[in-house]
Structure 1
Amino acid sequence: MDASGVQVSAAERVYQHVRTGILTRRFADNDLLAEGRIAEEIAVSRTPVREALLRLEAEGMVRLLPKRGALVLPVSAQEWRDVLSTRELVETYCVTQVIDGGRAPMLTTRLEAAVQGVEQAARAKDVAAYVSADRDFHATIVAAAGNNILDRLYSSLRDRQLRMGAANLFAAGGLDDPIRINRTIADHRGIADAIAREDREAAVRLTIEHLATAARSLA
């Protein structure tokens, strides 16, 4: 592998390390990420660290501070509201399409597995796994609607959803609010059951209520 290839590989490793740390809240909002410390953690030079931080700045996760490193940017309340509004539009439409299009029976097993994934992650107090399983539950429904444009739109929200989910449900060290966690799990099971019954009105209502619960945490 040539020198440039090694450098790209190092930058990618730094990018994934820092990105995962932000999404799982190991790096909290407003944390200062020092280039030197990151370079030591991953055993690379500062050049790939700068490249990775520039990429994360372009994605809105950090703001570079000259000669200091990068500041982890918090998710603003407006961005949170915008994402939840977009999710409500997409998810309620897709729920309707799945049920009206006769696709609900095909989803039963997959949604049950997704709910179990959420439950297992909660029992294990695995922050990353829980937030990812939560997101994957909803993405399964969106994908089943068969609208490729909406599927791509929903996928583009992935990092924001993962980060917001961690902020909403978890503290940096693990499960933060067992009552909220259990309510979220019950929401998922309720939506899955309504889809299995092909009860469109209930599935749409439960989806809206589920997202409204997340919106109330902004207050």
Structure 2
Amino acid sequence: MPVPASGRDRAYAYLKDTYLADPECQGRFINEQEIADRIGVSRTPIREALFQLSAEDLVQLIPKRGAYVAPLTGREIRELMELRGMVERHAAGSVLAAGAAPLDAMRAALAEQHALCSGDRGREFIDWDQRFHFALVEAAGNDMLSKLYSGLRARQVRAGVVALFSTPDRHRAVLREHEEIVRALADGDTGAAHRAITGHLDSTLRVLLDS
């Protein structure tokens, strides 16, 4: 039988993957009791999780005030997109060299995004956006690279949701950019895949810096 997750692990997973990924949490202090009540643990594992998140620079622990979620700065956004570009372009080259482009998984994620393009379902759209990109990175077969990329999730989701609602019709632009990436991978064209990835991330960066 699987070992049940500890209270600290549950708190850490919830805070990192759900709470901190919400753009609405930016610029706020975290209410420890509220989070504890939501996931059914005491405040002690919440504090332990916040210490870990502070070590990862995802929250700031301010004496006598608590854990603060600072908005992403322009520099952080630029560095995030730069790091994503390095990882994703490397992954594209690796999967094409190995003849292992994850086209089925990426097309499935893209289909889900098409279905979510209308209506107020931006967070779900961005969740599938993450699956689209992670499918490419994971297919490269480098576990350390996949773990590094997974560690960017909270920042990526928060930035993605902000970008989605900052510009009219951003959903459609994302779909077109994703289709270009898939097309280049399907054609086995590494240069085109690199350009498509760079173009997509540059487009997102411009939207975020203008928001």
Same fold (TM over 0.5): yes
- Flag the 1:68–1:152 CA change in 2: closer, same or farther, 3 A: closer
Corresponding residue SS for 1:23: coil
- Flag the 1:68–1:151 CA change in 2: closer, same or farther, 3 A: closer
Which residue in 1 is equivalent to 2:198? 208
Corresponding residue SS for 2:169: helix
CA contact (8 A) 2:184 2:193 kept: yes
Which residue in 1 is equivalent to 2:75? 78
- Flag the 1:33–1:192 CA change in 2: closer, same or farther, 3 A: same
- Flag the 1:193–1:55 CA change in 2: closer, same or farther, 3 A: same
Are positions 1:195 and 2:185 aligned together? yes
State the alpha-carbon separation in 1 of the partners of residues 95 and 22 from structure 2: 31
Q: CA deviation at 1:42?
A: 4.4
1:158 to 142, 153, 161: 153
Compute the RMSD of aligned alpha carbons. Answer: 2.7
Which residue in 1 is equivalent to 2:57? 60
Q: Which amino acid aligns with 1:79?
A: E
Unaligned runs of 5+ in 2: none
Q: CA deviation at 1:43?
A: 5.0
Q: CA deviation at 1:188?
A: 0.5
Corresponding residue SS for 1:125: coil
Are positions 1:109 and 2:109 aligned together? no
CA contact (8 A) 1:35 1:68 kept: no
CA contact (8 A) 2:36 2:43 kept: yes
Q: Larger C-alpha radius of gyration, 1 or 2?
A: 1
Q: CA deviation at 1:184?
A: 0.5
- More deviation in 177-186 or 10-19? 10-19
Aligned residue-pair number: 206
CA deviation vs aligned residue, 1:174-203 (integer Å, no higher than 9, x gap): xx5441111011111121122112233322
- What percent of counterpart residues are identical? 36
TM-score, normalisation: structure 1: 0.78
Unaligned runs of 5+ in 1: 1-5, 171-175
User: Residues 115-126 of structure 1 correspond to what in structure 2 (within 5 A)?
Assistant: 115-123=110-118, 125-126=120-121
User: Residues 1-219 of structure 1 correspond to what in structure 2 (within 5 A)?
Assistant: 9-19=6-16, 20-25=18-23, 27-42=24-39, 44-104=41-101, 107-123=102-118, 125-170=120-165, 177-217=167-207, 218-219=209-210
State the alpha-carbon separation in 1 of the partners of residues 133 and 39 from structure 2: 34
Q: Which amino acid aligns with 1:66?
A: P
